Amino acid sequence: MPQPYDFKPTAPWSHLELRANLLRRLRDFFHEHGVWEVETPLLSADTVIDRHIDPIRVTLATDSNGDPTAPAYWLQTSPEFGMKRLLAAYAQPMYQITRAFRADEAGAWHNPEFTIVEWYRPGHAMHDAIDFLSRLADALLHCGPARTTSYHNAFQRCLDLDPMSCSDDDLRRKAHTLKLLDAASLANAATWDRDTWLDLLLSQCVQPTLGQNGAEIIFDYPASQAALARIRPEAPPLAERFELFVQGVELANGYCELQDADELRRRNQEANALRQRDGKPPLPLESRLLQAMDHGLPACSGVALGFDRLTMLAAGAESIDQVIAFPIDRA
Amino acid sequence: MGTYKTSDFRKGLKVQIDGEPYSMIEMNFVKPGKGNAFYKCKLRNLLRHTTLDRTYKGGDSLESADVEEITAQYLYRQADTFVFMQNETYEQYELSAEQVGDAWKFLKEGMPCSIVLFNENPITMTPPNHVELKVEYCEPGAKGDTATNVTKPVKLETGAEVLAPAFINMGNVIKVDTRSGDYVERVSV
């Protein structure tokens, strides 16, 4: 129900000017680095299968007539599929500034509809992809070159814990010692798996310390959190995934992209099985991305950056509402 | 009894934990982009006014609490029982001295109070934020002394004792803030 004054934007004009300036600087940066702006559909028959990201399903009125089996479309959770299909076809460096949608994500740092900056660059090396992200962050936030820290070392530094070799019980005990959960919540958490404990410790303890003196990029994630990153077959195997943090805020997520279509099929099935175990609906396994990967995806890195959060940091804003004209409850 | 999923969590939600009603007074959504969502909640126990810090994972749920806030007028006190009546339904509600707590001393017949019902039973009562009460007894005020920084204890018609400026006299009606017990102003002489 509309409330009085609901028509007003929640962001001050100065923050909207800042958004405009940052968008311009982003486009300049990509232009100077020979990266092309592209556009792909927001509404797609395919969707990324992420254990913890819920896409919003859309049925086109002409198709539905109340028929629950009518063809479904998805609002993109990121432009990953469309851009990788372009890469498979043209192998060009490209970026996109677009909107992404994620159901049930709302809070001081989340809005279900948000602006995402995503880019792909052909090439093999993770250090090159990390370096490009570091230079982009510096160009926009003037935070200096990013410090790079492995996921392992970040946990060691902050929690004196080896996140790759410690037992699930060690993780539980650490959360308990640090009073992250009271006794009742801890009892509730009896069924949590290893990645849930790692996520809890990362988001509550490690993350607030990251990038406190500038930018910090965490790399080499546990293989179980690879998502669409390729995995280096070491012992333990590590995902060539990296994330940018500035002042404790998660700003960007990048991969040296998985190229093997069969490996993606396997991960999709696994992610769907975990979704169902978590009580979430499974997502369609077949997609045009798999076809594109069967055809051949060039070696490349891809990064997604949250533009609203970037603006929040540049503005010193404490809530995403202060940088989005009309957040979800006024949309 | 319904349940609330984590996606329903928001400030003001009334939930039940171990059979007791709670109000969610803070809710912070934390989620690594590719990771689990966590909901860091602060919950206030509506019976005992204690608070709890709980962290829930996306997909958890809490039982909803049948909690309703109504307005009822204070009728009378009988020994340790305070009786209120909802004007529209004439339904009467009884609260114990323990449930009423310190608020008893501001209660005057006919006063509209807020009562919280849990499973249709009254659990707490809050008088209006400001009440106007007659001064039943105080030391006489010095004539012409209108300073408000000199105070003295005054006893009100309901039994409450508050600090009021020295110029207040017996029979004056004063406005009192029930949340702090502070004198606000003189209403009539």
**Looking at the predicted structure, is the pLDDT value of residue A66 above 80?**
no
DSSP conformational letter for A55: P
**For B146-173, what is the mean pLDDT?**
89
pLDDT at position A179:
87
- Domains annotated on chain B, with CATH: 3-64 (2.30.30.30), 67-126 (2.40.50.140), 130-187 (2.40.50.140)
Q: Within 10 Å of residue A2's Cβ, how many Cβ atoms? A: 7
What token pair was written down for B32?
């690594």
CA distance A40 to chain B (A): 22
**Mean pLDDT throughout A45-61?**
92
Q: Which amino acid is at B101?
A: G
**Residue A64 pLDDT more than 70?**
no
Three-class DSSP category at B117? strand
CB contact under 8 A, B55 and A184: no
Q: CA A175, CA A263: separation in Å to the nearest integer?
A: 33
Length of chain A: 331
Helix (H) or strand (E) run with residue A104 in it:
none
> Across the strands, what pairs with A58?
A73
Contact assessment for residue A239 and residue A229, using Cβ atoms and an 8 Å cutoff? yes
Binary contact (B59, A280; C-beta < 8 A): yes
Which of A51-60, A144-153, A172-181 has the highest average model confidence (pLDDT)?
A144-153
Q: Which two tokens stand for residue A68?
A: 């629950």
Buried b (16+ CB within 10 A) or exposed e, B131-166: bbbebeebeebeeeeeeeeeeeebebebebebebbb
From the CB of residue A329, how many other CB atoms can be counted at a distance below 10 Å?
A: 11
User: Span A219-223, mean pLDDT?
Assistant: 98
Per-chain mean pLDDT for chain A? 94
A317: Cβ–Cβ under 8 A, 6 or more apart, which residues? A15, A311, A323
Question: Which pLDDT value is given to residue A65?
Answer: 63
User: What's the mean pLDDT in B144-155?
Assistant: 78
CA A62 to chain centre: 33
Over the stretch B94-106, which tens digit does the pLDDT of each residue have? 999 999 988 999 9
pLDDT for res A190: 86
Q: Is A138 left (phi over 0), alpha (psi -120 to 50) or beta?
A: alpha
What is the share, in percent, of chain B residues with pLDDT greater than 70?
A: 96
> Taking 90 as the threshold, does the pLDDT of residue A68 lie above it?
no
Collapse the DSSP code of A46 into the 3-class scheme (helix H, G, I; strand E, B; otherwise coil) and give the result.
Answer: coil
Considering only CB atoms, B57 lies closest to which of A104, A110, A192, namely A192
Identify the closest residue of chain B to A107 by CA–CA distance. Answer: B29
Q: What is the largest CA-CA distance in chain A?
A: 60
State how far the Cα of A198 lies from the Cα of A190, in Å rounded to an integer.
14
What distance in Å separates the CA atoms of residue B65 and residue B21, rounded to the nearest whole number?
6
Angle of helix A80-90 relative to helix A288-295, nearest 10 degrees, comes to 30
The pLDDT confidence band at residue B24, using thresholds 50, 70 and 90, is very high
Location of structure tokens 């609203």: A308
With tokens 């369609």, the residue in question is A284
How many Å apart are CA A203 and CA A249, to the nearest integer?
10
**Residue B12 near chain A (CB below 8 Å):** no
Torsion A11-A17-A21-A24 (CA) sign: positive
pLDDT at residue B74 greater than cutoff 90? yes
- Mean pLDDT on A31-40: 98
Task: Give contacts of A105 with chain B, Cβ < 8 Å.
Answer: 29, 31, 37
Do residue B34 and residue A192 have CB atoms under 8 angstroms apart? no
Strand-by-strand arrangement of the A56-58 sheet: A43-44, A73-75, A56-58
Contact between A199 and B32 using a beta-carbon 8 Å cutoff: yes
Coil, helix or strand at residue A300: strand
Mean pLDDT of the region A225-238: 95
Q: Tell me if B158 sits within 8 A of B107, measured CB to CB.
A: yes
* Contact yes or no for B32 and A278 at CB 8 A: no
- Label residue A8 exposed, middle or buried (CB < 10 Å: 0-12, 13-18, 19+): exposed
pLDDT of residue A188: 79
- Answer whether B53 touches A (CB < 8 Å): yes
Between CA A221 and CA A230 the distance in angstroms is: 11
How confident is the model over A288-307, as pLDDT tens digits?
999 999 999 999 999 999 99
Beta-carbon separation of B55 and A250 below 8 A: no
Amino acid B29: pLDDT: 95
The whole-angstrom separation of Cα A244 and Cα A253 is 7
DSSP letter for each residue of A14-36: HHHHHHHHHHHHHHHHHHHTT-E
| Contacts with A248 (C-beta within 8 Å, 6 or more apart), sequence order | A207, A208, A209, A210, A211, A212
Q: How far apart are CA A178 and CA A169, in angstroms?
A: 14
Q: Work out the minimum CA distance from A272 to partner chain B, whole angstroms.
A: 14
| DSSP-based three-state secondary structure for B71 | strand
Instruction: Tell me what the mean pLDDT of segment A261-289 comes to.
Output: 95
**What DSSP line would sit under A112-129, residue for residue?**
SEEEEEEEEEE-S-HHHH
- Contact at CB, A105 and B37, closer than 8 angstroms: yes
Distance, in Å, from the CA atom of A119 to the CA atom of A130, rounded to the nearest integer, reads: 12
Asked whether the predicted pLDDT for residue A245 surpasses 60, the reply is yes
Q: Answer yes or no: do A105 and B29 touch at CB < 8 A.
A: yes
| pLDDT at position A185 | 80
Supply the Cα-derived Rg of chain B in whole angstroms.
22
Mean pLDDT of the region A253-278: 96
Residues of A in contact with B35 (CB under 8 A): 52, 195, 199, 202-203, 225
Percent over 70 (pLDDT), chain A: 97
Chain A nearest CA to B60, separation (Å): 9
Q: What number is the ipTM of this complex? A: 0.88
Which is higher by pLDDT, A331 or A6?
Answer: A331
Enumerate the H helices of chain B as residue ranges. 97-100
Q: What is the dihedral of CA A130, A134, A136, A140, to 10 degrees?
A: 150
Tell whether B142 is within 8 A of chain A (Cβ). no
pLDDT of the residue at A184: 77
State residue A63's pLDDT score: 57
Given this model, what pLDDT does residue A1 score?
Answer: 56
- Substitution target in A54, A56, A104 with the highest count of B β-carbons within 10 Å is A104
Give the model's confidence band at A313: pLDDT under 50 very low, under 70 low, under 90 confident, else very high.
Answer: very high
